[in-house]
């Protein structure tokens, strides 16, 4: 029995036989059809409607010669039959009244009568394999007394034809003019209409061999009321969609005890399913799919034990399902009574909202071949009896909430199993080795579950395996023995698709991967922990179309065998540690559509042969070490329409004017390189461009007007260049531009106020000293050049008059002017060295800080004091909180600190760095030099304030950081250092990382501040020595790297050392200079016992007190996980505070480690309940996006802690058309 509850897969033309179907009988005595050849429907006084049932319906003949016999009413059965003839397809043929007994005429051809003639309707070639005939018209033109006819089906027999005569049917035809004629006629080449009396009509569909009985009481031929429908037994046919019957009739089944096949699929039937259908004891196939049926399914249908095919798909049925359905809104549980349908061949309940467990009674369906339960809400275990249905060929339970471990013998008794879909559930434990016993499996999907352990080698015995999906599980591999399954899979000669991304696979990728089936087209092992180099002979996979190995730790260069990948479409290797040059031969991979190599260490020039990839859709080479110009050949690739990303390299030269040839490109990123020259006006040819990033280069000149012709541009970032001139007002006319960053350039003149310029949150223009105007929120000076010139003339005129009046006054005035001039001239070098920061007056700062009131003093040090203030906007409409760092210029290092900080932060934009709002380099009210830096105010103070609060009890209680917050803060600081060292426009050494320099905003986001000791790291070692070692000791005692104490040069390794001391301080709550550290004891030595079972002795007392529930119950799994997180933090701090600089970890590795710790901590926190959840909180409040380049930089750096790897894997899987 075939039971369909999902979208029907039956074709719209006669499908091949299924189930117990057999070909109709032929004259040679082959298997005969069902005994019933006619279906009678009694309508009382209105007469009888007789429709043929069997492989012949009305006048349609089957492939194996069923016959139609027509006899005039009242004539004896021995009446001479119609002659034998072959009627070509699609021709009109009719019997004339004067030749009824003599001949049969077909379109001009006349066949003489034979004594025992039989009408045979066949295909044009007359062969048995010909398709069913499509007769255009067959009409009896005989006038009365032949006002009735009798339909008969004759079966070929031995000797004499066997025939069966049934009740007479009055036949009436309505022609186009309303005239009533007697006869039979086929309508519209596919439908036969047989009027019965004045009310009923029998319709037949010839090409699909389907018939209906309709109530025509309203004489409306377009909307008949369906009373009955059916079709021949050998064809799963459909009624044409022209039928629009309002409802099915409850009278069906009343007198159809022998009806075996009823097909009404693909109509517009509405209403409920008649309960009388359950009164069809002989029904074998019932198809009501693709209609508008509603309501519940009659439970009585479950009594049709002879049913072998049932389709109710694509209706609007609801309620709990007593049988099956897909693409409906069924809910509730699967009824256990389905197990009584022992003839069932296929059960499909996909795409509903069924819940609960799978009933074990389904295991009694001993003939079941296909079981589809996917895309529901089923839960619990798979019942053991299911694994005993030996006839199963397809088993689909994906996209549910099923759980538990699979029995060790799960697949032992499924010899016919071919397709297994178990992905997207909650299964755990090992994949049973018994899967090898189902040796016919061709499709196996176990992905998105919690399966663990190693992949069983026994899978290599699945010789028919074509698709293997194990992605997003906990399957693991470390040493060579764990990778033996890969060698075993080389025995699967039909393997085409392997997906194992986002697992726990580590170690070295074995060379045996090169020996997988030559039929392999897709190989994905991305987002794992695989190290080592790519197998040398991986190019042996000559038919590979997709190679996906992103987010691993692969090293080395691309093997030379890559040249064999002639069919490769997608090469996804981003975020590894691959290095070396890209060979010129990579251009021979002409079928590639996606080339993603970003986040590696490739060097050399970008090969010009990439221009040979004429099908390239996306090219991403960002975050590598490429040098030289951008090859112009890339811009001639006509298909390059998604992304071209060459950012974060060391590319030089100009932006090629050929960029305009990329007519369909959507994103172009070339930021953070060494590009120079002007932006080419030809960029206007990129008419579909939406995102353009050219920041942090050395571009100069004006913004070309042609750029404003890009009507679809959404984001434009030109910050951190040497662009000049006025900002084009036409930028505001770009309708879709929502983010514009022009900061840190040399623009001048008035800032427009239209379009994107009208929203302060969408534009970033800081760092342009000579701009004015704009909207009030920008707090820019007003543009009043004429009045300024006029005022200067008045001053000169007044000076001349004064000179004429009194020489003394002139000398006095000259003295004052010279004094001021000298002082201002003295400031010129500082002004040039801190270019890019907007200026503020001393008077404004006095007002903002209430005269630098002691009440606003936040703190002080050797180089200056920090005050809190409220800075007014340009028109005084609003204020913003600021922190003002006033330098003590009498201290020699203060001026250098001021210059260093401004220079270090000039081009730096990251959400975890403090942001300079403005600066002040002026003269105070006493005529003394005055320098100050204005930052955004950080309301939550510094990390030091939270780790070491004042002794006030109330404040100490308020200032408590939970473990999740501490890890998040450490991650923020690590991201900031990674940006300073590796990803910013220049490599910066902070030189003073400590808890007091980690500031916390209102959302507890950490910002690294105080760059007074920072230095730009240059490449030449001599310059490094000159610019750093001469500065003497750098940093703060306790945090500074030990090599600084002996005069070594400043380096990123020194920042790493300071950061790791910060990690240990954050976990232990102890300062590195704590007074308890005596007799040579250091913070490092203090925390080391925590790695050896004394965790509570070294962890911050506040964490221990507030979290004693999990500390004291370490055997509970979540608690153990939290303890492991603490141990991992200590190990991280210790490993990176090594005395030898080269032994310390890199920032990228630190970030990766902290992400793992944070994820483990979050999972453990979710698992805890009660007191546990109050201690280990879900984390700090949601973070706001930073403005401008900071947000962009954060996105590039992966500052968020989402499931980046999982999202990438899902993106890979989205390109597939797997079940």
The 10s digit of each residue's pLDDT in 601-615 is 999 999 999 999 999
Query: Based on the domain organization, do 1112 and 968 belong to the same domain?
Result: yes
Structure-token pair, residue 295: 């309501």
Each residue of 567-578: pLDDT tens digit?
Answer: 999 999 999 999
Cα dihedral value 1017, 1019, 1021, 1024, nearest 10: -20
Residue 476 confidence (pLDDT):
95
Each residue of 442-455: pLDDT tens digit?
Answer: 999 999 999 999 99
Residue 261 confidence (pLDDT):
67
Across the beta sheet with 292-295, what order do the strands follow? Answer: 270-271, 292-295, 316-317
384 within 8 A of 362, measured Cβ to Cβ? no
Question: Read out DSSP for 701-727?
Answer: EPPPGGGGG-TT--EEE--SSEEEEPP
Spatial neighbors of 849 by CB under 8 A, at least 6 apart, are 856, 867, 868, 869, 884
Three-state DSSP class for residue 846 = helix
At residue 636's C-alpha, the angle toward residues 633 and 642, to 5°, is 110
Confidence class of residue 123 from pLDDT cuts 50, 70 and 90? very low
Helical packing angle, 1147-1167 and 1052-1068, nearest 10°: 20
Each residue of 795-852: pLDDT tens digit?
Answer: 566 666 666 666 776 766 766 666 654 544 444 334 433 444 567 888 888 888 988 8
**Whole-angstrom distance, CA of residue 1014 vs CA of residue 991:** 6
**Whole-angstrom distance, CA of residue 216 vs CA of residue 195:** 9
Per-residue b or e along 495-529, where b marks 16 or more CB atoms closer than 10 Å to that residue's CB = bbbbbbbbbebbbbbbebbbbbbebbbbbbbbbbe
**Whole-angstrom distance, CA of residue 385 vs CA of residue 357:** 13
Sort residue 892 into left (φ over 0), alpha (ψ -120 to 50) or beta.
alpha
In a domain, 87, yes or no: no
Residue 73 confidence (pLDDT):
29
Centroid of chain to Cα 556: 30
In a domain, 967, yes or no: yes
Each residue of 483-504: pLDDT tens digit?
Answer: 999 999 999 999 999 999 999 9
In a domain, 949, yes or no: yes
Each residue of 27-58: pLDDT tens digit?
Answer: 333 333 322 222 222 222 222 223 333 333 33
Residue 541's nearest CA partner among 557, 562, 518 is: 518
Of 78-87, 341-350, 546-555, 556-565, the poorest mean pLDDT is in 78-87
- Domains in the chain: how many in total? 2
Of 449-458, 952-961, 1179-1188, the poorest mean pLDDT is in 1179-1188
**Whole-angstrom distance, CA of residue 934 vs CA of residue 849:** 11
Residue 919 confidence (pLDDT):
85
In a domain, 957, yes or no: yes
**Whole-angstrom distance, CA of residue 950 vs CA of residue 449:** 49
Number of H-type helices and E-type strands within the chain = 19, 69
First to last CA, the chain: 23
Top pLDDT among 510 and 267 is at 510
Decide: residue 807, CB within 10 A, 0-12 exposed, 13-18 middle, 19+ buried: exposed
Size of the chain in residues = 1219
CATH number of domain containing 1113: 1.10.510.10
Structure-token pair, residue 614: 């004429």
**Whole-angstrom distance, CA of residue 1146 vs CA of residue 1124:** 22
- pLDDT exceeds 70 at position 150: no
**Whole-angstrom distance, CA of residue 1193 vs CA of residue 1182:** 19
Each residue of 1080-1133: pLDDT tens digit?
Answer: 678 888 888 888 777 888 888 777 665 544 444 444 556 777 888 888 888 888
**Whole-angstrom distance, CA of residue 777 vs CA of residue 763:** 11
Instruction: List active site positions.
Output: 992
Residue 390 confidence (pLDDT):
94
Across the beta sheet with 191-196, what order do the strands follow? Answer: 185-187, 191-196, 200-205, 210-215, 225-230
**Whole-angstrom distance, CA of residue 537 vs CA of residue 515:** 8
CA distances for 1193 relative to 714, 739, 931, 998, angstroms: 18, 14, 30, 19
**Whole-angstrom distance, CA of residue 1052 vs CA of residue 1024:** 12
Q: 1007: domain range?
A: 940-1186
Residue 720 confidence (pLDDT):
94
- pLDDT exceeds 50 at position 436: yes
- pLDDT exceeds 70 at position 880: yes
323 within 8 A of 298, measured Cβ to Cβ? no
> Radius of gyration (Cα) for the chain, nearest Å?
42
1190 within 8 A of 909, measured Cβ to Cβ? yes
Query: Based on the domain organization, do 1043 and 1176 belong to the same domain?
Result: yes
In a domain, 822, yes or no: yes
**Whole-angstrom distance, CA of residue 839 vs CA of residue 830:** 12
Helix or strand (DSSP H, E) at 978: helix 963-978
Question: Read out DSSP for 1006-1058?
Answer: EEE---TT-EEPPSSHHHHHHHHGGG-S-S-TTTS-GGGGGTPPP-HHHHHHH
Query: Based on the domain organization, do 823 and 951 belong to the same domain?
Result: no
- pLDDT exceeds 80 at position 923: yes
At residue 341's C-alpha, the angle toward residues 337 and 343, to 5°, is 170
The residue to which tokens 């006025």 are assigned = 726
Alpha helices in 743-862 (DSSP H): 785-805, 807-833, 842-848
Q: Which residues pair with 839 in a beta bridge?
A: 919
Three-state DSSP class for residue 561 = helix
**Whole-angstrom distance, CA of residue 573 vs CA of residue 589:** 15
In a domain, 35, yes or no: no
Question: Read out DSSP for 309-373?
Answer: EEE--SSEE-SB-SS--SSS--BSPPPGGGGG-TT--EEE--SS--EEPPPGGGGG-TT--EEE-
In a domain, 829, yes or no: yes
Residue 1140 confidence (pLDDT):
62
Decide: residue 37, CB within 10 A, 0-12 exposed, 13-18 middle, 19+ buried: buried
Structure-token pair, residue 338: 């389905």
**Whole-angstrom distance, CA of residue 1088 vs CA of residue 500:** 38
The listed range with the strongest mean pLDDT (80-94, 736-750, 1017-1031) is 736-750
- pLDDT exceeds 90 at position 427: yes
In a domain, 819, yes or no: yes
Residue 268 confidence (pLDDT):
67
Top pLDDT among 892 and 789 is at 892
Q: What is the 3-state secondary structure (H, E, C) of 678-707?
A: CCCHHHHHCCCCCEEECCCCEEEECCCHHH
1206 within 8 A of 473, measured Cβ to Cβ? no
Note the pTM of the prediction, 2 decimals.
0.50
């Amino acid at each position: 029995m075939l039971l369909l509850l999902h979208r029907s897969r039956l074709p719209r033309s006669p499908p091949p036989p299924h189930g117990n179907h057999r070909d109709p009988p032929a004259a040679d005595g082959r298997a005969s059809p069902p005994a019933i050849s006619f279906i009678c429907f009694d309508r009382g006084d209105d007469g009888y409607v007789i429709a043929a049932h069997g492989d012949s319906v009305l006048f349609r003949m089957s492939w194996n010669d069923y016959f139609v016999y027509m006899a005039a009413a009242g004539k004896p059965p021995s009446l001479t039959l119609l002659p034998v003839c072959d009627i070509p397809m699609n021709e009109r043929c009719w019997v004339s009244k004067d030749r009824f007994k003599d001949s049969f005429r077909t379109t001009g051809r006349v066949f003489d009568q034979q004594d025992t003639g039989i009408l045979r309707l066949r295909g044009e070639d007359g062969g048995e394999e010909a398709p069913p005939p499509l007769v255009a018209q067959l009409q009896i033109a005989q006038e009365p007394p032949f006002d009735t006819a009798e339909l008969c089906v004759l079966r070929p027999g031995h000797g004499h034809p066997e025939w069966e005569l049934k009740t007479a049917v009055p036949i009436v035809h309505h022609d186009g003019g309303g005239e009533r004629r007697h006869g039979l006629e086929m309508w519209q080449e596919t439908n036969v209409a047989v009027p019965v009396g004045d009310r009923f009509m029998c319709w037949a569909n010839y090409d699909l061999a389907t018939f209906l009985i309709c109530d025509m009481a309203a004489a409306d031929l377009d909307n008949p009321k369906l009373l009955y429908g059916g079709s021949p037994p050998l064809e799963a046919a459909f009624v044409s969609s022209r039928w629009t019957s309002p409802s099915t009739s409850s009278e069906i089944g009343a007198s159809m005890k022998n009806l075996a096949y009823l097909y009404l699929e693909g109509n517009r039937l509405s209403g409920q399913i008649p309960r009388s259908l359950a009164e069809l004891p002989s029904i074998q196939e019932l198809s009501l799919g693709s209609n508008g049926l509603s309501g519940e399914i009659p439970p009585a249908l479950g009594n049709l034990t002879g049913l072998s095919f049932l389709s109710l798909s694509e209706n609007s049925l609801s309620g709990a399902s007593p049988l099956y359905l897909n693409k409906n809104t069924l809910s509730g549980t699967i009824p256990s009574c389905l197990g009584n349908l022992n003839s069932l061949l296929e059960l499909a309940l996909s795409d509903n909202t069924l819940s609960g467990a799978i009933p074990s009674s389904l295991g009694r369906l001993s003939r079941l071949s296909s079981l589809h339960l996917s895309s529901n809400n089923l839960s619990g275990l798979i019942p053991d009896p299911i694994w005993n249905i030996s006839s199963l060929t397809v088993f689909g339970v994906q996209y549910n909430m099923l759980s538990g471990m699979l029995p060790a013998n799960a697949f032992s008794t499924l010899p016919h199993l071919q397709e297994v879909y178990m992905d997207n559930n909650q299964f755990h434990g090992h994949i049973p080795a018994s899967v090898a016993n189902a040796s016919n499996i061709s499709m196996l999907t176990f992905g998105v579950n919690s399966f663990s352990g190693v992949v069983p080698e026994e899978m290599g015995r699945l010789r028919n395996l074509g698709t293997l999906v194990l992605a997003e599980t906990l399957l693991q591999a470390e040493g060579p023995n764990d990778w033996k399954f890969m060698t075993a899979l080389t025995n699967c000669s039909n393997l085409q698709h392997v997906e194992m991304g986002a697992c726990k696979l580590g170690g070295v990728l074995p060379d045996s991967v090169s020996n997988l089936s030559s039929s392999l087209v897709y190989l994905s092992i991305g987002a794992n922990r695989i190290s080592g180099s790519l197998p040398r002979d991986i190019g042996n996979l000559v038919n590979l179309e997709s190679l996906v190995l992103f987010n691993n730790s692969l090293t080395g260069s691309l093997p030379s065998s890559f040249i064999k990948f002639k069919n490769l479409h997608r090469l996804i290797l981003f975020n590894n540690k691959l290095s070396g040059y890209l060979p010129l031969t990579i251009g021979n991979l002409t079928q590639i559509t996606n080339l993603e190599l970003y986040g590696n260490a490739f060097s050399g020039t970008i090969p010009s042969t990439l221009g040979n990839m004429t099908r390239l859709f996306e090219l991403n080479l960002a975050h590598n070490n490429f040098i030289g110009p951008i090859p112009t050949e890339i811009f001639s690739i006509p298909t390059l329409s998604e992304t071209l990303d060459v950012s974060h390299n060391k590319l030089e030269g100009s932006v090629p004017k050929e960029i305009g040839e990329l007519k369909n490109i959507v994103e172009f990123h070339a930021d953070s390189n060494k590009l120079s020259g002007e932006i080419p006006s030809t960029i206007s040819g990129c008419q579909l461009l939406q995102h353009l990033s050219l920041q942090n280069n050395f571009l100069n000149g004006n913004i070309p007007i042609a750029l404003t012709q890009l009507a679809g541009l959404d984001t434009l970032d030109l910050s951190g260049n040497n662009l000049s001139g006025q900002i084009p007002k036409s930028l505001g006319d770009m309708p879709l531009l929502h983010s514009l960053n022009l900061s840190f350039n040399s623009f001048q003149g008035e800032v427009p106020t239209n379009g994107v310029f009208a929203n302060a949150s969408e534009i970033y223009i800081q760092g342009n000293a000579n701009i004015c105007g704009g909207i009030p929120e920008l707090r820019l000076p007003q543009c009043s050049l004429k009045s300024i010139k006029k005022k200067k003339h008045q001053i000169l005129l007044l000076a001349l008059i004064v000179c004429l009046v009194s020489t003394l006054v002139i000398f006095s005035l000259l003295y004052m002017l010279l004094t001021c001039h000298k002082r201002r001239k003295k400031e010129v070098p500082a002004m040039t060295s801190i270019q890019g920061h907007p200026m503020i007056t001393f008077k404004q700062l006095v007002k903002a800080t209430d005269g630098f009131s002691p009440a606003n003093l936040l703190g002080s040090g050797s180089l200056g004091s920090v005050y809190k203030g409220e800075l007014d906007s340009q028109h005084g409409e609003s204020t913003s909180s600021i922190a003002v760092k006033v330098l003590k210029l009498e201290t020699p290092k203060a001026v250098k600190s001021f210059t260093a900080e401004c220079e270090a932060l000039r081009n730096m934009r990251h959400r975890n760095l403090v942001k300079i709002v403005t600066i002040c380099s002026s003269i105070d009210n006493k005529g003394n030099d005055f320098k100050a830096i204005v930052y955004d105010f950080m309301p939550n103070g510094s990390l030091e304030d939270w780790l070491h609060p004042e002794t006030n009890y109330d404040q100490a209680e308020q200032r408590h950081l939970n473990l999740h917050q501490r890890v998040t803060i450490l991650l923020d600081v690590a991201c900031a250092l990674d940006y300073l060292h590796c990803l910013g426009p220049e490599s910066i050494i902070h030189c003073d990382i400590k808890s007091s320099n980690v500031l916390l905003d209102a959302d507890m986001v950490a910002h690294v501040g105080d760059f007074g000791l920072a230095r730009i790291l240059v490449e030449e070692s001599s310059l490094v020595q000159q610019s750093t070692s001469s500065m003497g000791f750098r940093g703060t005692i306790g945090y500074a790297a030990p090599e600084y104490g002996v005069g070594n040069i400043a380096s990123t390794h020194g920042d790493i050392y300071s950061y790791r001391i910060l990690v240990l301080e954050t976990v232990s709550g102890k300062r590195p200079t704590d007074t308890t550290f005596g007799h040579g004891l250091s913070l490092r030595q203090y925390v080391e016992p925590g790695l050896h079972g004394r965790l509570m002795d070294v962890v911050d007392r506040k964490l221990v007190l507030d979290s004693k529930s999990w500390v004291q119950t370490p055997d509970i799994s979540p608690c153990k996980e939290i303890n492991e997180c603490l141990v991992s933090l200590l190990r991280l701090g210790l490993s990176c505070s090594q005395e030898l600089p080269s032994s310390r970890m890199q920032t990228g590795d630190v970030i990766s480690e902290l992400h793992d710790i944070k994820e483990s901590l979050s999972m453990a926190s979710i698992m805890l309940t009660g007191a546990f959840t109050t201690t280990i909180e879900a984390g700090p409040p949601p973070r706001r996006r930073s403005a401008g380049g900071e947000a962009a930089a954060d996105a590039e750096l992966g500052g968020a802690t989402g499931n980046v790897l999982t999202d990438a894997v899902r993106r890979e899987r989205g390109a597939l058309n797997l079940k």
